[in-house]
Structures are given as C-alpha cells and as structure tokens.
Structure 1
Amino acid sequence: MRVLACRGELTPTPRPCAFVMTGRVRTLVGRLPSSLRGVSSIVAGSAIGQGLVILAYPLLTRLYDPAEFGLLTVFTAVVGLVGVVSTAALEYAVPIPVEDSQAASVAWAGLGWVALTGLLTAALGPLLAGPLSDLLGVPRLADVWWLVALSVVVLGTYLLLSEWMTRSREYGALGRRNALQGIGQAGSQIAFGVAGAGALGLLSGFGIGRLAAMGGLFSRRGLLRQPWPGRRAIIAALRRFRRFPLVAMPSRLINSAGLDTPLLVVSALYGDVRAGLLGLTVRVVSGPAALIGEAVTKVFVGDSSSELRDRKSTMGASVRSNVGRMLMLGVVPALVLLLFAPNLFGWVFGPEWTEAGEYARLLAPAYLAQFAIAPVSPALMLLERQGRLLGWSVWRLVLAAGGPAVCGLAGAPILTAVLVLSAAQVTSYVLMYFLCVRAADASDASGASL
C-alpha cells in the first residue's frame, strides 16, 4: 500500500492528496502527537535529500580529489561564517511575535540585511580574497570569490524563509525543502564532475542545492504570500528585536566559528588535503545526524515558541526528554564509528580516504554530544538569553579552534589535533545542556506563577 501524508492537519483547508491513507494506517498516524507528526514530515523529505547527498559521496570521492574537497571545505566555512552574519540573526526572532504581520516585518528586515551583506562581500573581494586565500592555504579560493558572494545571498535567504515556515508549522513544506536541497546539490555536483568541471562544480552544488530548496517554501502561508509590511513596520520590528543584531548576531557568528574555524585552522596548518579529509568526515558523519536533528530542532522551536506565546510552562521537560531520546538514538552509530570507521571509509570512499575514517573514530563522542544537545540549543534564543549564548559560543570557539591551532603550531600530528577538537566539542555541548535546562526551568517557574 502506498501512503502519502495529507496536509489537512497543517492547513485550514485540506488539499487533495495523490494517495489517501486508509484503514489502520490512517488511524495510527492520526493518533500520533503533533510533535511526532511534525518530525515525521520533515524526516520524510530529509531522508530523500540527505540520503541522495550521502549516497553521492562514494561517487564524488572518485570524481574529485582530496585537495578539491579541501577547497570545498574552506569555501563552505567562509560562506557559512559570512552567511550567518548576513541575516543579523533576525531569523531567530521570526517565531516570537504573536501577530504574523510583525513577524513578516522581522523577516523582510532580515532579507534586507542579506542583500547588503552580499553586495559588501562582492565589493571587498578585490582587497580580501587574495590575502585570505593564501592565509588559509587554498589560493584557488580567490578565483571563485564571486561564487562566495552569491552563495552568501542564497544561504541568508534560505535561513530566513526556513524560520518563517517553522513559525507557521509548515512541516510538510520543510520536508519538501529538504528533499529538493539534496536533489539539487547531489545532482549538480555529480553532473559537473562527470563533465570535468573540476572544483568549481563541487563548489556550485552548495548554492544550487539551497536555491532549489526554496521551491519548497512558497506555500499558501509562506512569507511571500503575506502583505508587504511597509517601511515603518520594518523599522519598528528592528527596534523591538534590536538585541538580535546587537547581541545574537555576534553570538551566532562566534557559534558558527566554533564549527567552521577548526576546519580553517587545519587547512592553514596541515594543508588542503588534510582539510579535505576532515571536511569529508564532517559531511559524512553529520549528514545522517542532521537528518533527524534538524527535524527535532524545527519541531522543538515551533512547539516551544507556540507554548511561550500561550504562556504554557513545559519547556524544561521538553529539553530533558528531547536530549534523552536523542542520546538513546545516537549511541549505536557512535559505537560503530569507534570500532569500524577506518575500514568503512576505505571501503566506501576509496583507499586514499582511509585516514578520514581515523578522524571519524576520534570525533564520534563529539558528534554524539552534538546530535543529542544541539536540537534544544534554540531554547536560549527563544527565551531571549542571548548573553548566555554569546558566552557559551566564545567558550567553544576558544576550545575548538585554539586546541588544534596549538597542536599545529607545536608540530603535533593531525590525529592529536582531531582528538583535542573532539574533547573540546564534548565539553562545550555538555555545558550547553546545563545552560538550556537552567533557562527553561526558570521560564517554566515564571510562567507557572502568572
């Protein structure tokens, strides 16, 4: 029996489905809690998109060499760092307003920031691209700086539209978004590789995937279907949520740097080949984790923001239960990496990628901690505890980037640097868990006393 979930649960007027659930299957799905239905909707699309991306890697590692993957690693890190600044962190404010009109004002203000950041990135290219590329050990980055600026605009727009769909609980649209992203990214990278486009084809897939994903966001309740808020409303929204660009944006940048800067440090101190090996490790291991983790994050933000608007007091329990479930789900894959990662990587991706499996083995505890705790980290943003998040982000950046940097400058082997990175990430995410629990419990106590 072929089953396709209907969207009637998510929109006021149900739309016809290509296939209709009948009998016992329909009854069972209808009885699922709303949060589980949201997770399943997102996971269904993510399974297609991320599944295609992951399945493409054994082919991509035979179409592109480790040095080209090293350029991709540096490229995506630079785009990611600039991209998170491009929104001024206003995407985090989108789920908060009670009225959709005010939320639309926030989102349009964020899109304005994205456009300005893209133009500034392109304008600074002639001055910064060459020196930065040499510093990071990838001179070819300067030749594709135009693609960096374009990808920043695509990424910033993608982030803002995603949060709008999270606010309106359009989990089905988010699932389609995830599927289209994977199809666009994997398909373009394979096509360019077969055509002999070289590293440019590998880099282009990053933006193409996210550009294709925007097709899944033009739903009936999407941002582009909302009335234009007007200049005064946008300015008023910026004043109301000014702490996001003033405090949350630096926090978001530092938080992103905690993930991306270690890759840049490895590229600068150990070379682009090692950066390519580590970059593949990050993508292969984090891809399946993101399949579930992103879905849980979106539903956690959607449900928690709705409960906060209704002044309910259950966020503390939600944080604990989500982390507990994710730990139980992630422990088995982490053990597989610890025991078999080098042999698996060499067999799946080719002998020259066996060293990447050694990195995966050392990073397994860090990925387990990230998988379990990262999905509830938006609790600090929802509760407007931007200062605590900023402090945590600085702490993680110092540990995650400083440790490998000291190892590289001291001449330590790359495996030592990766081990230090893993320990830094585990320590950081454990601290994040306690910060979220404390903030959520305080919010629950305050809400219960009203």
Structure 2
Amino acid sequence: MKSLLDKVNAKLNVQGGFLKAVSVLAGGTAFAQLIGFVCLPILTRLYTPEDYSVLGVYVAIVAILAVISCLRFDIAIPIPENENDGKALLLLSFLSNTIFSIILYVVLFISYPYIQHYKIIDQLSYWIWLIPLGVFVSGFYSALQYWATRHKRFKDIAKTRITQAISGNTASLAGGMLSVGFGGLIIGQLLNFSGGLFKLAVSAKKDLAVVKSSPLKTTFAKYSNFPKYSTFEALANTSAIQLPLIIIASFLIGPEVGYLMLAMKVLGIPMGLIGSAMSQVYLSHAPAYHQKGELFEYTKSILRKILKLVIFPFLILLLISPYIFGYIFGTQWADIGYYISAMIPWYFMQMLSSPVSMSLHIIEEQKIALILQIFGFFIRVIILLILALYFSKYISEYYILSGFIFYTVYMVVILACLKYKKVK
C-alpha cells in the first residue's frame, strides 16, 4: 500500500507538481461546482428564464468592467522573481481597483437620470447600484487570488471557491423562497464574486508585513505594458463574451438570454473545474519553464493533459444534453439542452486555449494578445450587432458559432508564437 501511495505521489509531483496542484484546485472547485449543480434544479423552479435574463445583463456589465478595474496589474503579480515587485503590483492593483470603483459610482450617479428609461437599465431597476460594488469586490478578489497563486497557495484558493458556492447559492435560494424576484439572483452573484475575500486577505496581510515594496512609480513603469496593452486585450475579450448577451437582450424579447445564461452556467462547471484550476497552476509554473527555454514543450504537454481529461466528458454531454436537462431544470427550461449541445464545440476549444493563454504575456507578446482580442471583438460583437440590426432571428446561433471560431484561431496563434520564440 505504501508503495502504491508513493507512486501516486510521484505521479502527482511530475513537472514541478503540476498535477498535484491541479488536483488540489480541482478538488475544491469540484465541491463548489457540485453545490452549484445541486442547487440549480431548485433555482430554475424558483426563478424564470426572464429572471436569468436580467441576471445575465448584470453579470455581463460587471464582468466587462471588473476585468479592467486593476489595470491588469493583478495578472502580473505571479510573474516577477523579486518579491518586492510582486508586492508593489498587488498594491497597484488595490489602488487602481478602488479608484476605478469610485469613478463608476460617480459616473452612474451623474448619468442615471438620463439612462434610466433605457430597456436594459429599466430591467435592472434599483439593482443597478450594485454594479460598482460588484466590480470592486471582483477586482479585490482577483488581485488576492493572483497573490495566492504567486505563493502556490492552491488550497486557500480552492477553499474560497467553496465559500463562494455556499454563500452565493444560499442567498439565491433564500431570495427565491422569499419571492424577491431576480434580486435574489443578483445578491447571490454578488456574494459569489466576493466569497473567500477575508481568508485570502489575512494571508496576504501576513506576507506584506515582512516584505518591502518596490517604488510604485518604478513598478508601474516596469510593467506598463499590462495597462497599455493587456487592459484593452482583456476588455476586448470579456466584451466579446458578455456584450452579445446585452445585445441579444436588447433585440430579442423573451427568455433567450436566460437560456444562454443557464447553458453557459452549466458548461462553466467543467470549465471552472478543470480549466480554471489548470490556468492557475500553469501560470505559477510557466515563467520558470520560459526562463529555461522550454515553454513550448511544457505548453504542449499541458494541452495533451487537458485533451485527455475533457474529450470523453464533452462527447457524452453532446449526446445526452437534449434529453436530460429539460427534466432536470423543469418544463419552462425544456429547450435548454439544445443550447448546451450547440455550445459544446465553443467550450471545448475554450477549455483547451484558456489555461495557456497567459503564455503570450509571459513571452511579452502583449501586442499579439491584443490583436487577437480585437479580432475576437470584431467577429463576436461587431458582426453580431450588424446581424441584430438586419437579421435578429439568427443572432443567438451566430453568437455560439463565433465563440468556436475565435478560440480555434486563438489556440493556433498561441502555439505558433511559442514555437517561433523557441526557434528564435
């Protein structure tokens, strides 16, 4: 038995402990996703597709704004070898996020009398005032999560995901039972954004007490490519995913966005379980492989691992989705299975490409990453908007297809850049 355990431990520790770290993150995330999946059939009977449509709009707006609230200094935190630079990047993230959130409240306060009658704003009602708060807690959590990633505290990250699942779903269930409408979903999502903040903050505070900080101005200049290029790259990427939901909600009357939102939530379970865990661990190990000139080989090995993990579950889900989800979520969600099946090719390519996407930043090709995201924004938002104006009947189908096209191109470009850097 001891020999078997030794073999398992050795297997998990190959490649700098990649599999062991992934197993820790995936284990915590799996429990969190299980909580969410168990609660979904109850939530879909407490809330209507229209309620989820409003939630989709709220999440879309927060996600678009939150991804730039730290000026992308947060994603740079694990990269520098010098601990002082890492601390300075964390402080820059906090500062940027706080200022950005305050500006959002000021802009919303000034503009609200002029925008309150627009369909999207009217749907959100007074819950719109929780948008800046959602951005603030999301940005704060992101910075702390990347600090934990820098120190390879994957158990702490996994625990926060469990906290997020418990607090978010509990609030949504309570709101549904109290018949507060879509507001229960929004409160639940807000807690999902912020769950586990305290635990990560306590660990970070202990670190910061014993580490000196590089001058913020010097660090800002040193990592200026992140706000200059990565901010717009991330904005284009997130907008390409989220803006179509707002466009579809504006042009189609009914539950369309609710179906898309729930389908994305279901497919986000394997994405959150495997893709997010691998992304965090890949980022913690990739800089070292880059310094040794082995990032291309390391990335290919990770892609092979991901492919082996996801190929069969996705095939099974593709075949059974149209037949099972109507029963799981209730009669008003009868068509959800067809949406899930149609979106599987998109999420399959996203599952492969997303965990290794940070490699473009590691090899300092932020410009290429930005160009890729601009391309994605064009095919996923601009073309969709044109279709919405003239052929609105087909915009949901095009949104799904464009996701598959974008992530396929993304994968090809990442591998080509890494191979070119190796040869060079």
TM-score for the superposition, normalised by structure 2: 0.92
Displacement of 1:404 after TM fit?
Answer: 3.3
CA–CA separation in structure 1 for the residues paired with 2:119 and 2:344: 26
Displacement of 1:177 after TM fit?
Answer: 1.8
Deviations 1:75-110 (A, max 9, x none): 001001110110101112111211111111011111
Mapping 1:49-60, distance limit 5 Å? 49-60=32-43
1:306 to 284, 288, 301: 288
SS in 2 for 1:85: coil
CA–CA separation in structure 2 for the residues paired with 1:232 and 1:431: 38
Aligned to 1:176: 159
Displacement of 1:182 after TM fit?
Answer: 1.2
1:434 to 412, 417, 423: 412
Aligned to 1:189: 172
Deviating more after overlay: 223-232 vs 386-395: 223-232
SS in 2 for 1:198: coil
Instruction: Give the conservation status (yes or no) of the 8 Å contact 1:380–1:386.
Output: yes
Displacement of 1:423 after TM fit?
Answer: 2.4
Instruction: Give the conservation status (yes or no) of the 8 Å contact 2:325–2:334.
Output: yes
Unaligned runs of 5+ in 2: none
SS in 1 for 2:408: helix
Check if 1:417 corresponds to 2:395: yes
Check if 1:289 corresponds to 2:271: yes
Displacement of 1:318 after TM fit?
Answer: 2.1
Flag the 1:91–1:331 CA change in 2: closer, same or farther, 3 A: same
CA–CA separation in structure 2 for the residues paired with 1:443 and 1:329: 28
Deviations 1:190-237 (A, max 9, x none): 1222222222111011221232222442465x3553138788712211
- How many residue pairs match? The answer is 420
Displacement of 1:156 after TM fit?
Answer: 0.2
Instruction: Give the conservation status (yes or no) of the 8 Å contact 1:122–1:149.
Output: yes
Deviations 1:231-250 (A, max 9, x none): 87122111111111111101
Mapping 1:212-231, distance limit 5 Å? 212-218=195-201, 220=203, 222=204, 225-227=207-209
Check if 1:368 corresponds to 2:348: yes
CA–CA separation in structure 2 for the residues paired with 1:422 and 1:120: 34
Instruction: Give the conservation status (yes or no) of the 8 Å contact 1:90–1:106.
Output: yes
Deviating more after overlay: 161-170 vs 341-350: 341-350
Deviating more after overlay: 333-342 vs 50-59: 333-342
Aligned to 1:15: none
Displacement of 1:137 after TM fit?
Answer: 3.5
Check if 1:261 corresponds to 2:243: yes
Displacement of 1:35 after TM fit?
Answer: 0.4
SS in 1 for 2:195: helix
Q: Percent identity?
A: 22
Check if 1:345 corresponds to 2:325: yes
* Structure with more of its chain in helix, by fraction: 2
CA–CA separation in structure 1 for the residues paired with 2:251 and 2:24: 42
CA–CA separation in structure 2 for the residues paired with 1:421 and 1:368: 15
Aligned to 1:6: none
Deviating more after overlay: 132-141 vs 366-375: 132-141
Deviating more after overlay: 122-131 vs 420-429: 122-131
Displacement of 1:417 after TM fit?
Answer: 2.5
CA–CA separation in structure 2 for the residues paired with 1:404 and 1:340: 29
CA–CA separation in structure 2 for the residues paired with 1:210 and 1:24: 42
Aligned to 2:46: 63
Instruction: Give the conservation status (yes or no) of the 8 Å contact 1:122–1:145.
Output: no
Flag the 1:341–1:136 CA change in 2: closer, same or farther, 3 A: farther
Check if 1:249 corresponds to 2:228: no
2:57 to 64, 74, 77: 74
Flag the 1:217–1:227 CA change in 2: closer, same or farther, 3 A: same
Unaligned runs of 5+ in 1: 1-21
Flag the 1:193–1:244 CA change in 2: closer, same or farther, 3 A: same
Deviations 1:361-418 (A, max 9, x none): 21111111111111111111122211111111011111112343333322443xx323
SS in 2 for 1:111: helix
Q: Where in structure 1 do 4 or more consecutive aligned residues deviate above 4 Å?
A: 129-136, 228-232
Displacement of 1:136 after TM fit?
Answer: 5.5
Q: CA RMSD in A?
A: 2.2
